[in-house]
Each structure stands twice: as C-alpha cells, then as structure tokens.
Amino acid sequence: MRVRARGLDTRRAARGAIRPTVGIVAIAAATALLLTGCTSDPLADQFREGSGKNYIAGDGSISEFDEGSRGEPVAFSGETADGDEFDSADTEGQVTVVNFWYAGCAPCRVEAPILEEVYDHYGSGEEDVAFVGVNVRDQAGNANAFEKTYGVEYPSILDVDDGDVQLAFAGDVPPAAVPTTLVLDKQGRVAARVLGQLEDASILRGLVDSLLEEN
C-alpha cells in the first residue's frame, strides 16, 4: 500500500488570481495527508518519517508457512567476517536460522544475545540446526567487533559489497527491513519469518522445534 501590478485595481486582480491556486494547493495537500493516513504498512511509515535512525525495523510480526505454500529451496553463499566461506549446501538436511543485521542497528544489538542463546540451546549447531548471520552494511572489522561485544559465535556472511544473499532472499526480506530472521526447513525453503526484532528466545525455539519434527 501506499501541488504584478502597477495600480491598485491591478494588484487586487492579481490577488484574486492567486487565491484559486492557493486553494488548489491546499486541496492537494489535504488529499496527500488522507492518502498517507490510509496506509498501515509500518515499513512505509518509517520510510516517510525520515527519522534519521538509519534502519527500518519491522513490526515484530511472525509468519509461518506450511509445506504446501513454501517456495523453492534458497541457495546462497559468501565470505564470512572471519574470512571463511559459507555455503548453504553445507547445511542441507538441517533447519537453518538466517539473521539479517548490521552493527549500527539498535534492535540488532538487543536481539543478538537472544539469537546466541538459541544457538547455544541447540548445541552450537550440532543438533541438526545451523545458524548464519547476513551483515548487510559492515566490513569485517565492524562486524567482528560487534560479534565480540555481544558474544556471537555463529558465522556471518558479509553481504555489503555485492548483496548476493539479500538478492537470493529478495521475496522474503523487504528492502532495508533490518533485523529480519528467517528459518529454513531441512530442504532449505523459507518456512518462517520474524520481521523485526526478535523479542524472546522461546519464539525462535518454537519455530525451530516445529521444523525439526518434520520429516
């Protein structure tokens, strides 16, 4: 979802000609306000607001997709902040949590310990659950500093230069909606999405557990 005169009479005439134009502008402005008020898209609202906070956060909504409504498996790869290579092919058969973030995003800082808690809960990737971050703005130095500060142990792909991972998930992650967390099923299909800050570890654990139970 989703405007001169030389004598007294001439000046009066000029003023009279201006008034309709002012009225048209006022009507156009009022119409624009009405149209703006009709939208309920939180991402669009924040974009129009232009608050300068440098991120557009989602509303925290959670979406789950049953097996029949999931799209094709998403293949993605890239270099991590540690200089290693991550390839989604290596997580085949696992439930994979993919978190889009960057260091200057305040909600990302809040949810980082929550994500790490869930990562640790599943044995740091040893119980058929994989975690990977996708950093959308930072170079390795800032990304590594963030991970050290917040104790993040799972890898993060640096996607700032080419945006390949963001492109791979373009249908699932709205542009500039950071943070966003996706949960992929064992076939690599998007099965759940948290649009905005993750509020509680139990939410993500519930999404992961339901996918672990699938064949």
8 A C-beta contact, residue 152 and residue 118? no
AA letter at 122: Y
- pTM value? 0.73
The answer on pLDDT for 176 being more than 50 is: yes
| pLDDT, tens only, 78-124 | 999 999 999 999 999 999 999 999 999 999 999 999 999 999 999 86
With tokens 């498996």, the residue in question is 73
Mean pLDDT of the chain: 79
With tokens 């009279």, the residue in question is 16
- What span, in angstroms and rounded, lies between the C-alpha atoms of 73 and 133? 18
Backbone angles phi, psi at 206, to 5 degrees: -65, -40
The answer on pLDDT for 147 being more than 60 is: yes
Distance of CA 208 to the CA centre of its chain: 19
What pLDDT sits at residue 60? 67
| pLDDT, tens only, 30-68 | 333 333 333 333 433 433 343 333 334 456 689 999 999
Helix/strand/coil (H, E, C) string of the chain?
CCCCCCCHHHHHHHHHHHHHHHHHHHHHHHHHHHHHHHCCCHHHHHHHHCCCCCCECCCCEEEECCHHHCCCCCCCEEEECCCCEEEHHHHCCCEEEEEEECCCCHHHHHHHHHHHHHHHHCCCCCCCEEEEEEECCCCHHHHHHHHHHHCCCCCEEECCCCCHHHHHCCCCCCCCECCEEEEECCCCCEEEEEECCCCCHHHHHHHHHHHHCCC
